[in-house]
Amino acid sequence: METTRQAERQRTSAERRRRELLEAADRVVLRDGPGASMNAIAAEAGITKPILYRHFGDKGGLYRALAKRHTDALLSALRAALDAPADRRERVESTLDTYLAAIEARPQVYRFLMHPSDDATPSPEQGFDVGRHSAPLLRRLGEELAAVIAERVDLGPDSQAMARIWGHGIVGMMHAAGDWWLGERPCSREQLVRSLADLLWGRLAAAGDRSGGPGF
């Protein structure tokens, strides 16, 4: 019994330490964006780089941990927008706005997750393949949105397959449009939301709700 309690205390302590290190990494990413280094993160956390490696392995491991942390928070916010007591068009706009507001609020975090360092000659720890790691993040968002669409919207024959097409297509659209908008700011966020909602609205407006379930 004592061995079990000791193991539980060690696990709790390790999880708390990991959260503290991720919070330190967040602070560095907010300051340095894609150029955030393991050296800077270790210094922010008040530890040596080997200790940081012990927890995450390498920058790819740290990236995956940060990506999960921020993706979980974003998915929670998107689900809340999708389930809000409003009509379908309002929820579509709210979902788009939730995503855009998230990347606007923390652009350095977004760039760290989605773009490599801008350094012309990145160090080995900065040169990991961001695209290889960011693609699963986008796929996860696409699958989660597809599940919500399948639950709420009747798309007729092959509804499950269509929901997955829509889920990944909408995430791809939000990502591409949001990336362009964040870099150039050619219009207000509100205008971009309305325009993207208009693009989506044609068939979605005509689709029926699933009987016995909440409408999208």
The ranges assigned to domains in the chain are 58-209
Residue 71 is predicted with a pLDDT of 87
Higher confidence at residue 165 or residue 4?
Answer: 165
**What own/partner pairs with CB < 8 Å and gap ≥ 24 does 49-55 have?**
52/21, 55/17, 55/18, 55/21
| Helices vs. strands in the chain: H and E counts, helices first | 9, 2
Nearest to 211 by CA among 149, 153, 144: 153
Determine the average pLDDT of the residues in 115-138: 57
> Which of these, 83, 87, 133, lies nearest to 112 by C-alpha position?
133
What is the pLDDT averaged over residues 154-180?
92
Please state, for a pLDDT cut of 70, what percent of the chain lies above it: 83
pLDDT per position as a tens digit, 57-76: 888 888 888 888 888 899 89
The verdict on domain 58-209 having CATH code 1.10.357.10 is yes
pLDDT for 188 beyond 90: yes
The per-residue pLDDT of the chain, averaged, comes to 84
The alpha carbons of the chain give a radius of gyration, in whole angstroms, of 20
What is the percent of the chain with per-residue pLDDT over 90, rounded to a whole number?
A: 38
